[in-house]
């Protein structure tokens, strides 16, 4: 396979992140597919002042906020669904350490779409008439948030949404080949739009497959290689969240993590154990616990991966594919 873009997680973060950048991830839902491990590596490498753009919050944003890596956030939802408030994010907002600009979930998808299409703005009738339109955490920057605009056809006033074009998007996918073609199982949420809106895309895949897999299921490859800069292979990349077909949500760690991020001491301890507590993928899986990895992998959704299994590249064969053209 030519055009290999497979690089290590550490190298991906070194090459594709910098202090102050507009960083997008979490284009999945709060307990599902997100490149949570990319956020752990951002913290390990000490990135600061990130302008985070997350369609919906996830444990990644919760961690980045608790670790003080984020200065401002734009998102549509800032909780962890049934797991409750995202305590790290919540604390950073309440203490004023972080500015959170609120939109709705449709508004964030529309703003990615606007960025992908390079539209000057996106017209819509959602969010108008509410405090999502009238109140801005970024008001100090002097830019309107959702200014009213007149529909030239009906004459009525609607909302103008600013498009998003993040510097980098770290997108979790289920399967990728080394060129960057990617398949997402489960809802895409807004990963399709984000992959076109971002200036650079890094995909983080739970498994690497031979390109023949993509040739068998081209309709399912919603992120094609031509828009992908780098591919990272990292099983359990969304842990403790779920990856449909691959593993279930780790309920115990979701609770433990969110509880830890509720205090400074808990956060320091969490960073020590679960962010700096591994050196490589083997160490990461040891940290989760091999037994737990087994249990979480026995998902009711496992059958979703069955059509693709024959193309999954065994981990021991990946070393030879790494960094060919990177």
Six-digit token pair at 136? 């801005």
Which of residues 146 and 178 has its CB atom nearest to another protein in the complex? 146
Residue 130 or 272 having the CB closest to another protein? 130
Minimal distance in Å, beta carbon 92 to another protein?
9
For residues 257 and 208, what is the distance between their CA atoms, to the nearest angstrom?
28
d(CA 236, CA 23): 21
Shortest distance, position 287 Cβ to another protein, whole Å: 22
Q: Smallest distance from the beta carbon of 246 to another protein, in angstroms?
A: 9
Query: Is 151 or 286 the residue whose CB approaches another protein more closely?
Result: 151
- The single-letter DSSP state of residue 33 is S
Write the DSSP symbol of residue 314.
P
Neighbours of 147 (CB within 10 A): 13
**C-beta of 77: minimal distance to another protein in Å?**
4
Q: 47 vs 111, which CB is nearer to another protein?
A: 111
> Rounded distance, CA 143 to CA 163, Å?
13
Nearest distance, CB of residue 109 and another protein, angstroms: 4
Neighbours of 282 (CB within 10 A): 11
Shortest distance in whole angstroms from residue 36 CB to another protein: 14
The verdict on whether omega for the bond into residue 233 sits within 30 degrees of 0, i.e. cis, is no
* CB of 50 closer than 8 Å to CB of 68: no
Q: Which is nearer to another protein, 103 or 270 (CB)?
A: 103
Minimum distance of another protein from residue 277's CB (angstroms): 25
Which residue, 96 or 120, is less far from another protein as judged by CB? 96
Q: Which is nearer to another protein, 79 or 323 (CB)?
A: 79
* Neighbouring C-beta atoms of residue 154, cutoff 10 Å: 8
Determine phi and psi for 204, rounding to 5 degrees: -115, 115
Of 24, 9, 16, nearest to 191 (Cα)?
24
CA nearest neighbour of 206 among 50, 37, 25, 1: 37
Cα distance between residue 169 and residue 197, in whole Å: 9
Minimal distance, residue 239 CB to another protein, in Å: 13
Dihedral, CA atoms, 106, 112, 114, 116, nearest 10 degrees? -150
In the bound state with another protein, the residue whose beta carbon lies nearer, of 41 and 74, is 74
């Amino acid at each position: 396979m030519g055009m290999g873009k497979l690089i290590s997680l550490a190298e991906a973060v070194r090459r594709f992140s910098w202090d102050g950048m507009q960083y997008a991830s979490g284009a999945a839902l709060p307990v599902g597919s997100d490149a949570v491990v990319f956020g752990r590596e951002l913290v390990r490498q000490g990135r600061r002042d990130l302008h985070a753009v997350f369609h919906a919050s996830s444990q990644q944003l919760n961690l980045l906020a608790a670790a003080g890596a984020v200065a401002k956030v734009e998102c549509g939802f800032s909780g962890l669904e049934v797991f409750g408030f995202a305590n790290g994010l919540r604390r950073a907002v309440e203490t004023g350490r972080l500015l959170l600009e609120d939109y709705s979930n449709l508004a964030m998808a529309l703003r990615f779409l606007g960025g992908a299409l390079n539209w000057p703005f996106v017209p819509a009738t959602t969010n108008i008439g509410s405090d999502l339109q009238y109140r801005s955490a970024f008001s100090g920057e002097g830019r309107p948030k959702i200014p009213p605009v007149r529909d030239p056809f009906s004459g009525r006033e609607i909302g103008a949404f600013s498009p998003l074009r993040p510097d980098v998007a770290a997108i979790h996918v289920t399967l990728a080949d080394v060129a960057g073609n990617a398949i997402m199982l489960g809802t895409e949420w807004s990963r399709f739009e984000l992959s076109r809106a971002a200036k650079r895309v890094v995909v983080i895949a739970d498994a690497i497959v031979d390109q023949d897999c993509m040739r068998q299921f081209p309709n399912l490859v919603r992120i094609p290689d031509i828009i992908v800069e780098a591919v990272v292979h990292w099983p359990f990349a969304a842990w403790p969240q779920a990856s449909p077909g691959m593993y279930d949500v780790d309920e115990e760690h979701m609770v433990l993590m969110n509880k830890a991020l509720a205090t400074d001491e808990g956060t320091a301890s969490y960073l020590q154990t679960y962010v700096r507590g591994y050196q490589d993928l083997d160490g990461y899986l040891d940290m989760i616990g091999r037994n737990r990895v087994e249990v979480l992998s026995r998902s009711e959704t496992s059958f979703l991966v069955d059509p693709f299994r024959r193309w999954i590249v065994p981990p021991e064969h990946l070393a030879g594919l790494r960094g060919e053209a990177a």
